[in-house]
Amino acid sequence: MHAHSRTLNFILIAAAVALAAFPLAGSTFYTQLITKIMIMAIFAMSLDLLVGYTGLVSFGHAAFFGLAGYALALMVPKYEAASLWWTLPAAMAVCAAFALVTGALVLRTRGIFFIMVTLAFAQMVFFVFHDTKLGGGSDGIYIYNKPHLKLGEATLLDLEKLDHFYYLVLALLVVAFLVLRRMLGSTFGHALVGIKVNEHRMRALGFPAFRYKLAAYVVSGALAGMAGYLAAVQFGFVNPEIISWHQSGAVLMMVILGGMGTLYGPMIGAFAFVLMQELFSNQAWFGAYAKHWQLAMGITIILVALYLPQGLAGLLQKVGRKKEAAAEPDHD
Amino acid sequence: MDFAFFLIQLLNGLQYGLLLFLVASGLTLIFGIMGIINLAHGSFYMVGAYLAWSLAGMTGSLSAAILLGVVLTVLLGVALEWLLIRHFYDRDHLYQVLLTYGLILVFEEMRSVIWGDDVHGVPVPALLAHSIPLTENLSYPVYRLVISGVCLLLALAMYFLIARTRLGMMIRAGSSNRDMVQSLGINIKLIYTLVFALGVALAAFAGMINAPLASVFPNMGGGVLIICFVVVVIGGIGSVKGAMAASLLIGLAETFGQVIEIEVAGFKVLPELSGMIVYVLMAAVLVWRPEGLFRKL
């Protein structure tokens, strides 16, 4: 186990280094693509905290993602760029507050009911932005000026610049991962896993299960908000589609595809999901069929459900374990 | 709101609710009896609508198209259960979500490959293309009344099947204890296949009879799926009675939500936010009764 987690750390650090070096070699197109993937990785990781660790299958996670995007769009002044200093924390705070209020209600339910109530709240947010003029209706709002990060007069980060934005997203991805891992390694994290396995027992042991779940829900919502903020910055506009149930479904797919309850699994899932989309819609390779890329996507998802219950991360672990076993025949 | 207008909305709401019931009852049976979360249920509704359009074009008659379509969708249901669904009875709900989400994508793209991406209309059969005049300038289409009637008949038939027949008894028994029923010598696998095929055919049938009213278009299954999940959750999972009550509730709430005007502090709440009504209703029901309105079957 110990050797295994050391190998894992090594791989994760190597991956981070590779990502840091990527913009030096990659074209603009691929740098933007990887940026998008890393944003989705943050989003998927935030959901893993609920699905994989706490056993709360949320089918409405796009609500936080979209809410933060709209929060940014509404905070950006019309003719100048907003400051990253306060708009990012503010957007995340909006999501945390929304998670606190809705979490207090949805956490009363469990199982399939939880899946459906989270969906219901996401749909409510969707319709607020879709049907009222608050966020420009179904057309959405453009974000003409991307935020910047200034210290005094010096501009530290200008998110109009691709590489600045890329490294900000990478840094936030690493920070989010480390914070979550730290959190999950603490008593709080073990209590969450305990709640997933047997909530009654945890309550009998004196853990305030409801408050723990609510805390996880709020942290997860705020992190999803961070991803939504970054996505809004990247696309330069927000519209209700980012809150649609398809978005909630897609991020759930990333978590399961990658392997839930591992944190790095959902990151792999985000990479695999977005890259598959790119691959199957590649006209040079699939010609006229590229238009029907969702067919290949759907078949892949079905095959994963049938044959890869632990997701891609489970597959990697299996390969890793086999190698370890081959290297040390006495290993138990 | 005068009486004729109110009557029209009431009939529309009931008709919409009854149609929802056809889709939702299959969803709730598949979940309640087989324990399968089926996200692809809306796709069956879409497949039904497209089948009605293309078969009606080929045969020149909507009723012939519906007959043929029902046979085809029953076969589709049997094949799906046999090939995929039965491997997921003992798996966690998450994998059922994964499988059926994949199925949505497959069905949607197959629709695009076979039938294209255009919006189509299906004509109301000439025999039923009349309206009943209510006042000088308001009237009510006969076809909608026929839909309501057919849905009601099907609902009654389903109640009879589940509550009064030997097969229904086996279905009810299977939903409470699969292994026990199996060991009593009843072929539970066959019953599951039947229930799934029945659910598929009901959803597809709803798509078929509604095609002349709602037209046929890509991604039409998504909206229906979500609303039907709301119905199932409000009604109580696995409860056909609950699905009926919740379908009518949702049908009426959504229909009247679009025509009633409510202002709170100068801000128009309805009909501006009518899309939210069903979700607010669902949240309210679940806060009040976290298990839905009715118990099983």
A249 touches chain B (CB under 8 A): yes
Q: Which residues of A touch B280 (CB under 8 A)?
A: 124
Q: How far is B251 from chain A (nearest CA, A)?
A: 17
Q: What is the pLDDT of residue A328?
A: 61
**Range with the largest mean pLDDT of A22-31, A244-253, B210-219, B243-252:** B243-252
**B296: exposed, middle or buried (C-beta count within 10 Å: 0-12, 13-18, 19+)?**
middle
Residue of A116, A121, A210 best to disrupt the B interface, most CBs of B under 10 A: A116
Q: Residue A122 belongs to what domain range?
A: 28-242
Interface contact A121-B98, CB threshold 8 A: no
What is the bridge-based pairing of β-strands A237-238 and B131-133? unpaired
How far is Cα A7 from Cα A328, in angstroms, rounded to an integer? 15
In eight-state DSSP terms, residue A51 is I
Mean pLDDT of chain A: 88
Whether residue A317 is contained in a domain is answered as no
Tokens of A227: 């991803």
Q: What is the mean pLDDT of residues A29-36?
A: 93
In a domain, A303, yes or no: no
A323 falls within a domain: no
Q: What is the pLDDT of residue A85?
A: 86
Other beta carbons less than 10 A from residue A24's beta carbon: 8
pLDDT at A243: 93
Between A112, A116, A302, which is nearest B99 by CB?
A: A302
Report whether B15 contacts B176 (CB < 8 A). no
pLDDT in tens, B193-250: 999 999 999 999 999 999 999 889 988 888 898 899 889 889 988 888 999 999 999 9
**Chain A interface disruption, residue of B88, B286, B293, most A CBs within 10 A:** B286
Residue A269 is assigned to a structural domain of this protein: no
pLDDT over 60 (residue A332): no
* Structural domain contains residue A90: yes
Distance from CA of A130 to the nearest CA of B (A): 9
Asked whether the CA dihedral B32, B38, B44, B45 is positive or negative, the reply is positive
Task: Decide if pLDDT at B1 tops 70.
Answer: no
Structure tokens at A186: 């603490």
B251/B248 Cα distance (integer angstroms): 5
Tell me the average pLDDT of chain B. 89
Question: Average of pLDDT values for A233-245?
Answer: 92
Q: For B197-208, what is each residue's pLDDT tens digit?
A: 999 999 999 999
Question: What is the tens place of the pLDDT at every residue in B17-66?
Answer: 999 999 999 999 898 888 888 999 999 999 999 999 999 999 989 999 99
- The distance of B134 to chain A (nearest Cα, Å) reads 32
CB contact under 8 A, A298 and B103: yes
Q: Which has the closest alpha carbon to A140: A233, A57, A239?
A: A239
With cut-offs at 50, 70 and 90, classify the pLDDT of residue A1. very low
Cα Rg of chain A (Å, integer): 20
Full residue range of the structural domain in which residue B55 is found: 3-119+136-225
CB contact under 8 A, B283 and A105: yes
Which residue among A132, A299, A300 places its CB closest to the CB of B272? A132
The pLDDT tens digits for B69-87 are: 999 999 999 999 999 999 9
Of B101, B106, B232, the CB nearest to A295: B106
- The more confident residue out of A110 and B253 is B253
pLDDT tens digits, residue range B115-126?
999 999 888 888
Identify which of B222, B237, B274 has the shortest CB distance to residue A112: B237
Contact check, Cβ <8 Å, B95/A246? no
Domain count along chain A: 1
Residue B15 lies in a domain: yes
Residue B268 lies in a domain: no
Q: Tell me the chain B residues in contact with residue A305 when contact means C-beta distances shorter than 8 Å.
A: 88, 95, 98-99, 102
- What is the number of domains present in chain B? 1
**Rounded distance between C-alpha atoms, residue B42 and residue B223, angstroms:** 8
For chain B, percent of residues with pLDDT exceeding 70:
98
Does any domain span residue B35? yes
A119 touches chain B (CB under 8 A): yes
Mean pLDDT, residues A274-284 = 87
